[in-house]
Amino acid sequence: MSRTLILWFRQDLRLHDNPALQAALADAERIIPLYIHDDTTAWAPGAASRWWLHHSLTALADQLKQRGSRLILRTGESTGVVQQLIDETGADAVYCNRIYEPALLKRDKQLHRQLKDNGITFSVYQGNLLREPDTVHNLSGQPYKVFTPFYKCYLREGWDNHIYKTPGQLPGVSTRIKSEKIADLDLLPTIGWDSGFYDHWQPGEAGAWKQLRRFLRDDLADYHQARDVPSLQGTSCLSPHLHFGEISVRAILAELDRQGPRKQGEGFIRELIWRDFAHSVLFHFPHTTDKPFDERFRNFKWKQSKKLLQAWQQGQTGYPIVDAGMRELWHTGYMHNRVRMIVASFLTKNGMIHWKQGAEWFWDTLVDADLAANSMNWQWVAGCGVDAAPYFRIFNPVTQSQKFDKEGLYLRRWVPELASLPNKYIHEPWKAPDEIQQAAECIIGEDYPEPILDLKATREAALEAYKKQITRKS
C-alpha cells in the first residue's frame, strides 16, 4: 500500500459518488488530486463554461483542503503534464473517470498506450453516465439512433445503482509538489458581462445538492407541465452541475427515490436518460460535432447573413420570445429548454443559418454547454441529426409565445421595452396600433426592432429547400 497515485479530475468535480476516487483510496497510500487546464483540445470550454469552471474548481479545492488534501493545478497539453507529474512524484498509476468527447477519448487512448509502455497503470472508471455507451445496443447489435427504443432499453435493463459515500479524510499531499493558483488560469472574463450569473448559480458540489433538493421539494410534482412554461422555474437547472460532474446522475436518482415514489419523477428520469442518449450518439458517431448525422444534409445550402446572426445573438430580431431567450442566455448563461428549441428553429429554419453557427454561440454562452447535448439538440431542431424533428416541424415563435407565455411574464422580464404593452399585442408588437405603442412608450422600429424576417415566407422557403434536399438525396 505504498503506491503513489495521481487522481485526475476532469468532468467529475466532486467527492461524493466518485468511482475513481474510491478506487484510488482502496489502492494507494498517497493520492495526488490533479486538474489540468488544457486549452489545446478541440471544443475547449467557452467563456461561460470557463466562468463556471473557476468557481467549481474553487469549491473542489476547498473540499479537498477540509479533508487534509489539496488540489494540484497545472496548465498545458494533458499528456505531457501527466507525464511530468509522474516524473516529479514517482507515481505508478493514474486513475480518472471516463469522458466522452471524441478528441478527449482519442487522447486518453494515446496516454494509456504511453503509460503502459512505461509500466504505469492507467485506470478509467464510469462515473458520469448511467451506462457506458458501448454497453447499449439494439437487437441487431447496433447503437440506437432513435430515443424511444433507447429509453425503453434503459427501463427494461436498468443500470448500476451503487453510490459511493463521500470520504471523511484524504491523504495529505506533499508541499514539494507545486501547483498553480486558480486565479492564474484566467478563467474569469475581463469585462463584467458575467455579473448576472452570480444571482442565479452556485457552482460546486454543495450548490448541486442545494439545487437538486430545491427542485425535488418545490418543482418535481409539477414538472410535466411547468417545464414548458418559461416564466416558471419548473426545470431542475441541474445541467451545468451534471456537465461538470458536481453531482452524479446515479446520486440524483437515488435522492429521487428517497424523496418519494419514482413514478412522480418519470418525466424527469426520461430527461436524464436523454442525456445518456446524447452521449451515446456522440460516442458512436463522433463526426456529429461538426457534420450532420443525416448524410442527405452534407451539402445542404445554408445561407450566410451576418445581420441576421448578430440580431439573433443580441436578442434584436423583433420576435419577443426569441429575443427574450437570447437575452436570458446572455444575462444568466442559461436559457429555458423550450425557448432553446424556439430560438434554434428560428435561426436554422426561418433564417436558414447553419446549425453549427448556433451551436458555437451556445457553446460560448451557456454555463451548461455540453458537447454531446449541444451537438445532438441543434441537429435535432435543424432536422439533420439522429431522431431528428421532421424537416417540416418549424416552431412558430408567435404561437409558441402565446401558448406557453400567455400573460407575457417571460417577455416582460427579458424584453422590458415591451413591458407596458397589453397581452393582446406583446407577442406581436408590430401589430399594435400607433396609439397603443405611444401609450406603452414602445415605438416599433425605434424602441424595439421590427421583425427581421417574415415568418410565413421564410417557413415556405425552408420547407421547399428541405423537401428538395431530401428528395434529391433519397
pLDDT band at 260 (very low <50, low <70, confident <90, very high): low
Range(s) of the chain covered by CATH 1.10.579.10? 295-473
Query: Which of 320-324, 385-389, 430-434 has the least mean pLDDT?
Result: 385-389
The CATH H-level superfamily of 4-127 is HUPs (3.40.50.620)
Residue 74's pLDDT is: 98
pLDDT band at 165 (very low <50, low <70, confident <90, very high): very high
Residues 26-37: b if buried by 16+ CB within 10 A, e if exposed: eebebbbbbbbb
pLDDT at residue 474 tops 60: no
Sheet holding 30-37, edge to edge: 72-75, 30-37, 4-9, 93-97, 121-125
User: Residues in the chain, how many?
Assistant: 474
Question: Of the given ranges (104-113, 122-131, 220-229), which has the lowest mean pLDDT?
Answer: 220-229
Q: Rounded to an integer, what distance in angstroms lies between the CA atom of residue 406 and that of residue 449? A: 21
Specify the pLDDT at position 469. 85
Instruction: List active site positions.
Output: 271, 274, 302, 337, 355, 378
- Rounded distance, CA 164 to CA 23, Å? 10
**pLDDT tens-digit profile of 409-420?**
999 999 999 999
Query: How far is 350 from 343, CA to CA, in rounded Å?
Result: 10
CATH 3.40.50.620 domain residues, the chain: 4-127
**Residue 305, SS3?**
coil
Residues 296, 473 contacting (CB under 8 angstroms): yes
pLDDT at 212 exceeding the cut of 80:
yes
What cell was used for 254? 437515488
Residues 172-177, mean pLDDT to the nearest whole number: 96
Those residues whose C-beta lies under 8 Å from the C-beta of residue 32, and which sit 6 or more positions away, are 4, 5, 6, 7, 72, 85, 89, 91, 173, 177
Report which secondary-structure segment, H or E, holds 327.
helix 320-332
The answer to whether residues 58 and 182 touch, using CB atoms and an 8 Å cutoff, is yes
The rounded distance, in Å, linking the Cα atoms of 424 and 390 is 31
473 pLDDT higher than 70: no
CB 51 within 8 A of CB 368: no
Q: How far is CA 176 from CA 120, 173, 228, in A?
A: 22, 9, 53
Q: How confident is the model at residue 319 (pLDDT cuts 50, 70, 90)?
A: very high
Task: Check residue 262 and give its pLDDT.
Answer: 66
The class that CATH gives domain 295-473 is mainly alpha
3.40.50.300, 1.25.40.80, 3.30.565.10, 2.60.40.10: CATH of 129-163+204-284 = 1.25.40.80
